[in-house]
Amino acid sequence: MSSELQKSLDNQINIDFTYFELTIKRLLLLWKTNKLESLNYSNEKIDIEKKILTTKTNIHQLYDKLHEIQKIKSNKIEYNNLTNEIQTDHPKDRKTLQDLINKLHAEIHDLKLEKKLYINTWHSRKSQFAETINSLQAISDQIQIEKEQEKSKNLSEIETHEQNT
């Protein structure tokens, strides 16, 4: 009887140790899974922050464009008023007409200079945007490489752990 009792105790202890070992493996896998999930959430956060930055940039560009369009509209209204003033049936003296024409020429000259300035600004912003996009792409590529390295490291750790058991 003592031998049977001993075998029964040995079996029970072996079962308990096996259960304990499986529990440890399960907890280790859960820990690794949680770590990967945390990394995924961090990456999602970075993606959301990039989208926010892009949206803010777009909003600023739209505000700039709106300001430009409002200025153009204001100029058109002023030109229409000047044109209406010139084309009225009221006889005007030569000096007034010449002043209006000179004013229009000065406005045209100012607008041409402003157009050149806007073109230069546009090219500058376009190149800055391209540089920003390239930098973001490089960062994104680096993050992807780090993700892949982390994944392969985690997989090799799991394989090593499985081989050891």
Alpha-carbon span 30 to 108, nearest angstrom: 72
Residue owning tokens 């229409």: 80
pLDDT digits (tens, 9 = 90+) for 46-99: 999 999 999 999 999 999 999 999 999 998 998 888 888 777 766 668 888 888
Task: Give the CB-side neighbour count of residue 10, counting CA atoms within 13 A.
Answer: 6
Confidence of residue 154 (pLDDT cuts 50, 70, 90): confident
Nearest to 39 by CA among 141, 31, 131: 31
Q: Would you say 111 and 75 are in contact if contact means Cβ atoms under 8 Å apart?
A: yes
86 near 97, Cβ under 8 Å? yes
- Cβ atoms of 150 and 39 within 8 Å: the answer is yes
In angstroms, rounded to a whole number, what is the distance separating the alpha carbons of residues 75 and 149? 58
Q: What is the mean pLDDT of residues 118-140?
A: 91
The answer to whether the CB of 147 falls within 8 A of the CB of 43 is: yes
Question: How far is it, in rounded angstroms, from Cα 15 to Cα 73?
Answer: 85
Tell whether the model's pLDDT for residue 5 goes beyond 90. no
Q: Which comes out higher in pLDDT, residue 101 or 82?
A: 101
| Distance, CA of 89 to CA of 76 (rounded, Å) | 22
Q: Which pair of structure tokens corresponds to residue 140?
A: 């994104």
- Residues near 129 by beta carbon (within 8 Å), at least 6 away in sequence: 57
Secondary element (H or E) of residue 54: helix 2-87
Q: How far apart are the first and last CA of the chain?
A: 34
The reported pLDDT for the residue numbered 165 is: 66
Is the pLDDT higher at 125 or at 87?
A: 125
Q: Domain segments of the chain: what residues?
A: 2-164
Mean pLDDT of the chain: 90
